[in-house]
Amino acid sequence: MALKLNDKLASGIRAHGEAAYPHECCGALLGCHTGADRETRALLPLLNRRTDSPQNRFSVSAADVRAAEQAAAAQGLDLIGWYHSHPDHPAQPSDYDREHAWPWYSYVIVSVHSGHGAELTAWRLAEDRSAFEHEPLESAASISKR
């Protein structure tokens, strides 16, 4: 079980995090399933709806989720997950992230240090909601070696 994310898309997530800094950015991961793995094919940057504390919270409305599903379907893809940034914090999910997470989706977190995109990690919620489990990220380089 791994999430494939090529270098161009990874750069896109970092760039979104840098543009939104010091606020959190968020967006959707559109892609497909390749056996037990998932492959990200496109990003859908979204507006962070949390206007009260955008520096440490993000929110995607139900209407935006529906729009993301429709955007994925229009490209023949699935809505496979979400990304968001942690300004000046590690790319580790917070308790708040876990408490508000859905199962099944992949959650990508990018750390943005002093305005510069840095570490990028991926996670999935455990079946019992007790923790986020690390989801291996495969870049284009590692995919091409197969």
Partner 1 sequence: MPVKVMIPTPLRPYASKQSSVAFEARTVREALGSLTVQFSELRKHLYTDEGKLRSFVNVYVNDDDIRYLQHEDTQIKDGDTISIIPSIAGG
Residues in contact with partner 1 by the rule CB under 8 A? 24, 26, 50, 56-62, 64-66, 69, 78-79, 82, 84, 93-94, 96-97, 100-105, 107, 128-129
Shortest reach from residue 144's CB to partner 1, in Å = 29
Q: What is the distance between the alpha carbons of residues 35 and 132, in angstroms, rounded to a whole number?
A: 22
Determine contact, residues 123/106, Cβ cutoff 8 Å.
yes
Shortest reach from residue 48's CB to partner 1, in Å = 10
Within 10 angstroms of residue 18's Cβ, the number of other Cβ atoms is: 17
Nearer to partner 1 (CB atom), residue 137 or residue 143: 137
- Closest CA relative to residue 97, chosen from 139, 45, 144, 57: 57
Nearer to partner 1 (CB atom), residue 116 or residue 129: 129
Q: What is the distance between the alpha carbons of residues 46 and 28, in angstroms, rounded to a whole number?
A: 7
Nearer to partner 1 (CB atom), residue 2 or residue 26: 26
Listing from the earlier edge strand, what are the strands of the sheet with 37-46?
132-134, 116-125, 106-113, 78-87, 26-34, 37-46, 3-4, 137-138
Shortest reach from residue 105's CB to partner 1, in Å = 5
CA distances from 10 to 27, 119, 145 (A): 12, 10, 18
Shortest reach from residue 142's CB to partner 1, in Å = 26
Shortest reach from residue 34's CB to partner 1, in Å = 17
Nearer to partner 1 (CB atom), residue 11 or residue 104: 104
Nearer to partner 1 (CB atom), residue 95 or residue 141: 95
